[in-house]
Amino acid sequence: MNILLLGSGGREHAFAWKIVQSSDCTQLFIAPGNAGTAEIATNVSISVTDFEGIRDFINSNNIDLVVVGPEEPLVKGLVDYLQNELSTAKTPVVGPSQLGATLEGSKDFSKRFMQRNNIPTAAYETFNPDQIEAGIVYLKKQKLPIVLKADGLAAGKGVLICLTLEEAISSLKEMLLDQKFGEASSKVVIEEFLTGIELSVFVATDGKSYKILPEAKDYKRIGEGDTGLNTGGMGAISPVIFADAAFMKKVEERVVIPTVEGLAKENIPYKGFLFIGLMNNEGDPFVIEYNVRMGDPETEAVLPRIESDFLGLLHGIATGTLDKYEMKISPDYSTTVVMVSGGYPGSYEKGFPISLPKSSEGSEIFHAGTTRNSKGELVNQGGRVIAVTGKGKTLNEALTNAFETVKGINWEKAYYRKDIGQDILNLMK
Ligand code: AMP
Ligand code: GLY
C-alpha cells in the first residue's frame, strides 16, 4: 500500500513509526510531517487543509489509503470532499465525515447526541446571545463549581471551570456577548461539574464494528502537581490502573456500544478513531467530551502497546472490514514525557539546536515541533517539541526508561514535567 498520512505532531510520528513496521507498507508520505517523520518516510509540503492539493497528491502518487491525524481537516469536511471528487471517491480514508467530526466541532451537538443515545454525561443546557438572561437564570440555579464551554473549536482553551456565581455570570457574558473565543463561543454549553479521575479511552470504528485500544491518562497542565495553564498534553501513561476490567466493561456497555450504534442509527458516517474523554466517578463512567481523532501525547503511549499490525487496523477502519482484524495488546507499561519549548503554552523562542542521545534503550523518541534549519541542524519550531516513550514491565521501569532518555536530550530553555506517572505510583503504594 502507498499511504498518505496528514499531520505534523508527535501523534503522526508515532503513527508513521508503526505504519512503516508493516510489511504491507510500500511507501509512506506525510503531509506536512516534521523532522522525525522525514527520517523514516517522505515528507511532502502540503497543508492538512489544502483539500485540492491533497486530492492531486493522492492521484499522482497512487495512494491506497489516507490517514487523517488532526481534527481540523475533519471538521472542515476533508473526508466528504474526497468522497465527492470523482478521482478520489474510492480511496479509503481513516477519518470521519464532517457530520461525524461535529462530535468534536460542536459541544452542543455532542451533548445532544449523548442525550438521544442515553450515554452518561454531565447535565447541561446550551445558550446563544439572545438567551443571555435565561442563561443567567439557569446559572443561579446550579451548584458550584460550574463549567462553561464554548460550543466550537477553541484550541483547547474554550472550557472554563467557574468557582463563583459572579465569575460564571461575567464569563458567560464575555463568551456570548464579547465573543471571548470568537465564533466558537457564539453558543455556550453550561454544564454540571463532574468529580472523579479522568482518563482517555480510544475506539477504532468502521461505522459497524469497533475495537477498543489501550486506555491512557493525560497530564494536561504545564506545572508539576497539575498546576498552571492547560497545554495540549505534557505526558501520558498506559495502562491506567484505576480503569480496571469492571470499569472498562461499563465503559464498553454504557458508552462505546451506544456511541457506535448511535452513529449508525443516525446515519452519521464514521470511519476513524474516536477519543472519549471520561470521568471515573466512583467506578461509573461519564463522558466529558468526544474527540474525532487520536490524542496527543496519548498516541505515543498507546501505539507502542499495540502488537498486532497497525496498518491492518487502519485498513480495516477505512474499508469497513474491522470485524476481521484481531488486535493484540501488550500488558507492558508505556509512559510518555513531552519536552516543550521554554515559555510554552505562552510565547517561546524557536530555532535552538537540539541534541539527541546516541542510544535510547527501552524508549522511543517521537518528534513533534521539530524542523531542520538552513545548516541542516535539528531545531525546535513548536511548543511541544519531542515526546519520549519509555516501556517496561512495571510503571516504574517504563518511567525510568523514559526519563533516562529525556535527560540526554537538550536544547536551550527546554522544559518537561518530572512528575509524570507519580500520582499513579502513589495510588499503587
Ligand atoms: P475539554 O476541552 O472538553 O477537554 O475540557 C477540558 C478539561 O476541562 C477536561 O479535560 C476536564 O479536565 C475539564 N472538564 C471539562 N468538563 C468538565 C466537567 N463537566 N466537569 C469537570 N471537569 C470538566
Ligand atoms: N491530549 C489531549 C488531546 O489530544 O486532545
User: Using one digit for the tens of pLDDT, what is the confidence trace for 138-194?
Assistant: 999 999 999 999 999 987 789 999 999 999 999 999 999 999 998 999 999 999 999
Ligand 2 centroid to 233 CA: how many Å?
6
Q: Is residue 110 in contact with ligand 2, taking CB distance under 6 Å? A: no
Is the torsion defined by CA of 249, 252, 257, 259 positive or negative?
positive
Written as one letter, the residue type at 289 is: E
Residue from 219, 238, 291 whose mutation best tests the ligand 2 pocket (most atoms within 8 A of CB): 291
The minimum-distance atom of ligand 2 relative to the CA of 236 is 1
Which ranges in the chain are annotated with CATH 3.30.470.20?
A: 197-428
**Residue 195 CB partners (closer than 8 Å, separation 6+):** 279, 281
- Of the candidates 46, 41, 36, the residue with the CA atom closest to the CA atom of residue 13: 36
| Residue-level pLDDT at 429 | 84
Distance CA 353, CA 115 (A): 50
Q: Does the beta carbon of 291 sit less than 6 angstroms from any atom of ligand 2?
A: yes
d(Cα 147, Cα 121) in Å, to the nearest integer? 13
Classified by CATH at the fold level, domain 2-94 comes out as Rossmann fold (3.40.50)
How does 304-337 read in b/e, with b if 16+ C-beta sit within 10 Å?
bbbeebbbbbbbbbbeeebeebebebeebbbbbb
Contact predicate 205/271, CB 8 Å: yes
Instruction: Say how many Å lie between the first and final Cα of the chain, rounded.
Output: 47
- CA of 155 from ligand 2 middle (Å) equals 10
Start-end ranges of CATH 3.40.50.20 in the chain? 2-94
What does CATH list as the number for 123-192?
Answer: 3.30.1490.20
Q: 295: Cβ below 6 Å to ligand 2? A: yes
Of 274, 275, 264, the C-alpha closest to 205 is 274
- Of 105, 161, 151, nearest to 128 by C-alpha is 151
- 296 in ligand 2 pocket by Cβ < 6 Å? yes
CA 261: distance to chain centroid? 22
Residue range(s) of every CATH 3.30.1490.20 domain in the chain: 123-192
Q: What's the gap in Å between 153 CA and the centre of ligand 1?
A: 14
Q: Which ligand 1 atom sits nearest the alpha carbon of residue 154?
A: 2
Query: For residues 334, 277, 240 and 390, what is the CA-based torsion angle, rounded to 10 degrees?
Result: 10
69 within ligand 2 shell (Cβ under 6 A): no
What type of residue is 326? E
Contact 294/275 with Cβ under 8 angstroms? Answer: yes
User: Tell me, what's the pLDDT at 154?
Assistant: 87
Ligand nearest to the CA of 230: 1
Kindly give the number of the ligand 2 atom that is closest to the alpha carbon of 218.
Answer: 1
Fold adopted by 197-428: D-amino Acid Aminotransferase; Chain A, domain 1 (3.30.470)
**What does the mean pLDDT of the chain come to?**
97
Residue 155: Cβ within 10 Å count = 10
Q: Where are the beta strands (DSSP E) in 327-425?
A: 333-340, 363-367, 370-372, 378-380, 384-392
Secondary structure element (H or E) that encloses residue 162, with its range: strand 159-162
Report mean pLDDT in 10-residue bins for the chain, 429 residues: 98 98 98 98 98 98 98 97 98 98 97 98 97 97 97 88 97 94 93 96 98 97 94 96 94 98 98 97 96 98 98 98 98 98 97 94 97 98 98 98 98 98 92
Is there an atom of ligand 2 within 6 Å of 336 CB?
Answer: no
Scored b (16 or more CB within 10 A) or e, 356-383 reads bbeebebbbbbbbbbbeeeeeebbbbbb
Look at ligand 2, atom 2, and give the residue with the nearest C-alpha. 295
What digits encode the pLDDT tens for the residues 70-86?
999 999 999 999 999 99
DSSP state of 30: E
DSSP state, residue 194: P
Ligand 1 centroid distance, CA of 116 (Å): 21
Q: Which bound ligand lies closest to the C-alpha atom of 295?
A: 2
pLDDT computed for residue 210 by the predictor:
98
CA torsion sign for 368, 374, 376, 380 is negative
No. of helices (H) and no. of strands (E), the chain: 15, 22
- Nearest residue (by CA) to ligand 2, atom 4, is 295
Residue indicated by cell numbers 440555579: 141
What pLDDT is stored for residue 156 in this prediction? Answer: 75
User: From atom 5 of ligand 2, which residue's Cα is the shortest distance away?
Assistant: 295
Residue 235, beta-bridge partner list: 337
Residues in the chain: 429
Whether the Cβ atoms of residue 216 and residue 236 lie closer than 8 Å to each other = yes
- Cβ(233) to ligand 2 under 6 A? yes
Distance CA(253)–CA(259), nearest Å, equals 10
- Tell me the CA–centroid distance for residue 295 and ligand 2, in Å: 4
Pocket of ligand 1 (CB under 6 A): 122, 147, 156, 159, 191, 193-194, 198, 277, 288-289
Q: Which residue minimizes the CA distance to atom 3 of ligand 2?
A: 295
